[in-house]
Amino acid sequence: MSTHMTTRVLIIEDETKLASLLADYCRHAGFQVIAVDRGAQGLALIRNKQADVVLLDLMLPDGDGLDICKQIRQFSSVPILITSARVDELDRLLGLELGADDYICKPFSPREVIARIKAILRRLQQPPPQDSGLLLDDQRLVLHFEQKDVALTSVEFALMAALADHPGHIRSRQQLMDRIYTDHRVVSDRTIDSHVKKLRQKLAEAFPGIHFIDSVYGAGYRLGSLKADSPEDAPDGLP
Ligand code: CA
């Protein structure tokens, strides 16, 4: 993050109406806004450290947003929120490991975009999970937190480890399945959901109110805040 007092949101979006609507909402939320309609312009601004958060459209007149995302990651860790017009692209995007921080599908409400930006900023302000006290003992299949040990099944342990290895990043159900079932057996998305449900129940009994696992609608799961705070995607009080 820069030392600027105000967060600068860079909008890379060629749909003029959408860009100006997003810009209005961002300003209303107290952010500074720079909007460009070409990927190359966006890249130049990020190189010059003019952005604290990037909203990146995937279909731009001068190229594929995925390429731009990859190029950004070669020199910058600026948070990127990808906007995609297709829900069915999401799993593919997640599988590509592009290093984006979040994904949102069009049509979206600008309010939801603001909530996602704020969630990204909050995650950046949180201490890294190695300082959170969460320990996963793979010898004993035990989750250790706040002076307590909780015994996990091997599947639950693999799930938790997959999320904890990538704090702040969404893991798709497919990625979680790949991690858990190394024998390539065919399981459905619901299998993951039911394991997550059981794991949450187990952890909720041991640590009431602590957020270990966030659900990201339409995308997958993410390591939670490991705190007893309100859910990240709560409404932010916009008009
Ligand atoms: Ca576009």
Using the mean position of ligand 1's atoms as its centre, give its distance from the Cα of residue 71 in Å: 18
How far is the C-alpha of 151 from the C-alpha of 142, rounded, in Å?
A: 5
Alpha carbon of 14 to ligand 1 centroid (Å): 5
- Centre of ligand 1 from the C-alpha of residue 76, in Å: 23
> What is the model's pLDDT at position 237?
41
CATH 3.40.50.2300 residue window(s) in the chain? 4-123
DSSP percent split of the chain into helix, strand, coil, nearest 5? 40, 20, 40
Gap from CA of 148 to ligand 1 centroid (Å): 49
Rounded CA-CA distance 232/116 in Å is: 8
**CATH architecture for the domain at 135-233:** Orthogonal Bundle (1.10)
Cα 130 to ligand 1 centroid, rounded to whole Å: 39
Please state the φ and ψ torsions of residue 56, each to the nearest 5 degrees: -120, 115
C-beta of residue 65 within 8 angstroms of C-beta of residue 56: yes
C-alpha span between 201 and 138 (Å, rounded): 21
What is the pLDDT tens value at each position of the chain, 239 positions in all? 444 468 999 999 999 999 999 999 999 999 999 999 999 999 999 999 999 999 999 889 998 888 898 888 888 878 889 888 766 666 566 545 566 778 888 888 999 999 999 988 877 765 555 567 899 988 888 999 999 999 988 888 889 998 998 887 888 888 888 777 766 566 676 788 888 999 999 999 999 999 999 988 777 899 998 888 655 444 444 44
Q: How many angstroms does the Cα of residue 48 sit away from the middle of ligand 1?
A: 24
Distance 167 CA to ligand 1 centre (A): 29
What are the contacts of 137-145 at 24+ separation with CB within 8 A?
143/203, 145/206, 145/207, 145/210, 145/226
Element at 222 (helix H, strand E): strand 220-223
* pTM listed for this prediction: 0.57
> 29: CA distance to ligand 1 center in Å?
24
Domain 4-123: CATH class, spelled out: alpha beta
Distance 61 CA to ligand 1 centre (A): 7
What's the order of all strands across the beta sheet hosting 102-105?
Answer: 32-36, 8-12, 53-57, 80-84, 102-105
Domain with CATH 1.10.10.10 in the chain: 135-233
